[in-house]
């Protein structure tokens, strides 16, 4: 079933891609494609902006436009655990492993998703957090679990950390064809590559889409520390141990209390 | 002032972390404990991942206990022979503890074992210390000698062979119980990821009858040696020691330890034991409440290291 949907989606995308002359063109870009993390990083905001370029054929044919932008961060496997009371003590009794869910997921739109297009379309295009596949590892098998409380907990906890968000008022149309959207990256942002997928809807139908990307990297001293810790573990450890003994010794000389 | 931690991947307030290092370092220098059992939960509370917290705290403990050990050494209040004997037992114990850790992990109940042993150890040790020191204080209030250096007759294991004279501590006991204590601390340290100072201090005081005066400095020597080695091991195997976090904690810790060692030397032994007992007991009770009370959120998420 899923493959059939995917195939259908591909055909739709193919039709759109191969016939740009008969439809609107969607152009989008980001203010910054390269977010650097330095020692004073405390979160950042990127701006996605773009415009819809109607051609002669489509001019005036469509109603107002709708934009849905999905920002997907790097993927990391997570374990969601549930506590239960056992002999009066709360312990983690059950756990589910989620295979490579995005560590950051933001769905930005100019109005509620269900007002933009049908629930069926949203599901097929995997739009909105509820429609994102978050596969779990079940008995060495990877699959989706519907109505899973562990999935709901994962989404809730990630939302509380500012890593997952779905905002129906984040995209603003400055003119009927020019839009902008703010992408908020929290302080505990995962390092890596981020994909930005922008979809243009009109009258409930997908009429164009475009993609962009940005990366979050550490630079300078931060990157040096990460490389040293990863590539030269023993030397790095000895350096830290020496640092510990040195600071201990300096303090015992400088703050002598007897 | 916020600063980004490269390995922990979060920004923290420098002054907050510095103050935490200072406070825990003070307690460390005063009581001869490493303070890892206080610092690790504090770091997790401000948002550092548990694995990074455990790994980075070891370097803070190494720094503040080294700073404290120098202060006690200057005051001639540490027993080198005792520290080395404990260390010999500790090395064997650590190896055993790592094996036990691996075995527990295959049973998939490691978290529970660690939590329950934490609660039990801290509460029992804390309660025993409070009870004993209150008795000692009330005894001194009634005008009797408070310091019962060698109460009653020797415990049976004091008569074991391999007797050693620990000059600084003015005790003459078998090396076997001392090695055994080092071994137990080594096992517990490896399984629970702690230096074990809060267990070592009362064990030396109550079981081997080491005077409170030398026990703290001796404990600091043992802790600084094991924690320096643990820092290198953590960095080499898990790559999770955060140099920036470690440095901020250390700077606070080493200064705090100097003042703590000074304060510790001015407090009477039984009051010191009472305060340490109360500290250990309250941390134990906090963990106990956490286990017994219904958590706000039944669910938690954790990163899986390595691919699935």
Query: pLDDT category, A13, cuts 50, 70, 90?
Result: very low
Instruction: Kindly list the residues from chain A whose CB atom is less than 8 angstroms away from the CB atom of residue B74.
Output: 252, 256, 258
| Chain B hits for A75, Cβ within 8 Å | none
For residue B116, the distance in angstroms to the closest alpha carbon of chain A comes to 9
Considering the domain boundaries, does residue B245 fall inside one?
yes
The verdict on a CB contact (< 8 Å) between B70 and A258 is no
| Residue B304 counted as domain residue | no
What pLDDT is recorded for position B150? Answer: 47
Per-residue pLDDT, B152: 43
Say which range, A19-28, A210-219, A221-230, B40-49, has the weakest mean pLDDT: A19-28
Q: Do A234 and B292 touch (CB under 8 A)?
A: no
Q: Cβ of A40 and B3 within 8 Å? A: yes
Tell whether B16 is covered by a domain: yes
Q: Percent of chain A having pLDDT more than 70?
A: 87
In B44-56, which positions are buried (b, 16+ CB within 10 angstroms) versus exposed (e)? eeebbbebbbbbb
B91-125 per-position pLDDT tens digit: 888 888 877 877 776 666 666 777 788 788 888 88
Residues from chain B contacting residue A79 (CB–CB below 8 Å): 301-304
Residue spans of chain B under pLDDT 50: 146, 148-153, 306-308
Q: Quote the pTM value.
A: 0.75
Q: Is B298 within the bounds of a domain? A: no
Residue A198 and residue A190 in contact, taking contact as beta carbons nearer than 8 Å: no
Burial of B300 (0-12, 13-18, 19+ CB in 10 A): middle
Residue A161 three-state SS: coil
Q: How many domains does chain B have?
A: 1
Residues of B in contact with A137 (CB under 8 A): 308
B191 part of a folded domain: yes
Using DSSP's 3-state secondary structure scheme, residue A95 falls into strand
Least confident of A72-76, A117-121, B228-232: B228-232
CB neighbours of residue A20 within 10 Å:
11
User: What mean pLDDT do residues A43-48 have?
Assistant: 87
Quote the domain boundaries for residue B29.
2-292
Please report which helix (H) or strand (E) contains residue A106, including its range.
Answer: strand A105-109
Chain B CA closest to residue A220: B6
Binary contact (B6, A230; C-beta < 8 A): no
pLDDT confidence of residue B158: 62
> Domain for residue B308, yes or no?
no
Residue A254: phi and psi, rounded to 5, are -75, -35
Query: Cβ separation of B258 and A150 shorter than 8 Å?
Result: no
Within 10 Å of residue B19's Cβ, how many Cβ atoms? 13
> Comparing C-alpha atoms, which of B52, B46, B36 is closest to residue B2?
B46
CB contact under 8 A, B304 and A97: yes
A44-53 and A178-185 as β-strands: parallel, antiparallel, unpaired?
antiparallel
Note the pLDDT tens digit of each residue in A135-166.
888 777 777 777 788 888 889 999 988 899 99
Which chain B residue shows the shortest CA-CA distance from A93? B109
pLDDT at B41: 82
Q: Residues A47, A30: contact at Cβ < 8 Å?
A: yes
* Mean pLDDT, rounded, of chain A: 82
What pLDDT sits at residue A18? Answer: 43
At A109, the pLDDT band (50, 70, 90 cuts) reads: very high
In sequence order, the 6+-apart residues with CB closer than 8 A to the CB of A73 are A102, A103, A104, A105, A163, A189, A190, A192, A194
- Of B250, B285, B282, B292, nearest to B59 by C-alpha is B250
What torsion, rounded to 10 degrees, do the Cα atoms B105, A143, A156, A184 define? Answer: 110
Contact A249 B67 (CB under 8 A): yes
How far separated are the first and last CA of chain B, in Å rounded?
38
Q: What is the pLDDT of residue A63?
A: 66
Say if residue A54's pLDDT is above 70: yes
Residue B187 lies in a domain: yes
**Is A241–B231 a contact, with Cβ atoms under 8 angstroms apart?**
yes
Confirm if B216 and B190 have CB atoms less than 8 A apart: no
Smallest CA–CA separation between A113 and chain B, in Å?
Answer: 28
**Between A39 and A179, whose confidence is greater?**
A179
pLDDT of residue A16: 45
Q: Quick one: pLDDT at residue B153?
A: 44
With an 8 Å Cβ cutoff, is A258 touching chain B? yes
Q: Which residue carries 């510990």 as its tokens?
A: A244
CB B188 within 8 A of CB B196: yes
The candidate with the shortest Cα–Cα distance to B64, out of A237, A245, A255, A240, is A245
Predicted confidence (pLDDT) at residue A197 exceeds the cutoff of 90: yes
Subunit contact B258:A252, Cβ cutoff 8 A = yes
Token output for B14: 């420098």
Residues A220-240 have a mean pLDDT of: 87
SS3 A257: coil
Return d(Cα B230, Cα A210) in angstroms, integer: 51
Contacts of A240 in chain B (CB under 8 A): 59, 231-232, 235, 241, 243, 246
User: Mutate which of B4, B21, B116, B234 to disrupt the A interface (most A C-beta within 10 Å)?
Assistant: B4
Nearest CB to B236; choose among A92, A234, A249 = A234
Chain B contact for A76 (CB, 8 A cutoff): yes
């Amino acid at each position: 079933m899923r493959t059939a949907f995917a195939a259908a989606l591909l055909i739709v995308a193919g039709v759109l891609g191969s016939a740009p002359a008969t439809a609107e063109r969607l152009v989008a870009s980001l203010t910054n494609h390269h977010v650097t993390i330095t020692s004073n990083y405390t979160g950042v905001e990127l701006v996605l902006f773009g415009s819809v370029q109607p051609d002669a054929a489509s001019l005036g044919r469509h109603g107002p436009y709708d934009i849905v932008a999905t920002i997907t961060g790097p993927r990391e496997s997570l374990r969601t655990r549930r506590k239960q009371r056992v002999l009066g003590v709360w312990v983690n009794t059950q756990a589910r492993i989620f295979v490579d869910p995005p560590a950051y997921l933001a769905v930005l739109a100019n109005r509620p998703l269900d007002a933009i297009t049908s629930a069926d379309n949203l599901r097929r295009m995997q739009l909105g957090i509820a429609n994102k596949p978050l596969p779990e590892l079940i008995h060495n098998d990877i699959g989706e679990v519907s109505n899973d409380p562990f999935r709901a907990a994962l989404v809730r906890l990630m939302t509380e950390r500012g890593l997952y968000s779905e905002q129906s008022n984040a995209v603003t149309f400055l003119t009927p064809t020019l839009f902008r959207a703010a992408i908020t990256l929290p302080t505990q942002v995962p390092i890596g590559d981020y994909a930005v997928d922008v979809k243009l809807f009109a009258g409930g139908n997908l009429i164009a889409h475009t993609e962009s990307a940005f990366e979050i990297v550490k630079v300078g001293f931060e990157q040096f520390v990460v490389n040293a810790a990863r590539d030269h573990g023993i030397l790095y450890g000895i350096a830290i141990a020496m640092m510990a003994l040195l600071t201990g010794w300096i303090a015992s000389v400088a703050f002598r209390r007897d | 002032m916020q600063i980004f931690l490269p390995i922990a991947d979060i920004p923290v307030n420098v002054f907050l972390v510095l103050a935490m290092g200072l406070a825990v370092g003070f307690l460390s220098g005063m009581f001869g404990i490493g303070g890892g059992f206080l610092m690790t939960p504090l770091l997790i509370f401000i948002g550092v991942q548990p694995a990074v917290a455990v790994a980075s705290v070891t370097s803070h403990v190494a720094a503040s206990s080294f700073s404290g050990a120098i202060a006690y050494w200057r005051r001639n209040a540490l027993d080198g022979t005792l520290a080395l004997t404990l260390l010999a037992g500790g090395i064997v114990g650590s190896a055993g503890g790592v094996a036990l850790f691996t075995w527990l992990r295959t049973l998939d109940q490691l978290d529970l074992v660690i939590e329950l042993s934490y609660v039990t150890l801290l509460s029992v040790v804390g309660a025993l210390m409070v009870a004993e020191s209150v008795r000692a204080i009330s005894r001194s209030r009634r005008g009797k000698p408070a310091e019962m250096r060698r109460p009653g007759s020797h415990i049976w294991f004091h008569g074991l062979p391999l007797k050693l004279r620990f000059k600084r501590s003015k005790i003459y006991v078998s090396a076997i119980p001392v090695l055994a204590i080092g071994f137990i601390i080594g096992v517990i340290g490896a399984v629970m990821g702690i230096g074990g100072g809060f267990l070592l201090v009362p064990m030396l005081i109550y079981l081997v009858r080491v005077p409170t005066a030398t026990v703290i400095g001796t404990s600091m020597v043992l802790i600084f040696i094991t924690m320096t080695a643990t820092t290198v091991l953590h960095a080499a195997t898990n790559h999770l020691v955060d140099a920036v976090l470690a440095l901020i904690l250390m700077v606070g810790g080493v200064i705090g330890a100097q003042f703590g060692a000074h304060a510790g030397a001015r407090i009477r032994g039984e009051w010191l034991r009472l305060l340490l007992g109360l500290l250990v007991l309250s941390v134990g009770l906090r963990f106990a409440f956490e286990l017994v009370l219904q958590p706000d959120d039944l669910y938690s998420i954790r990163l899986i290291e390595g691919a699935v």
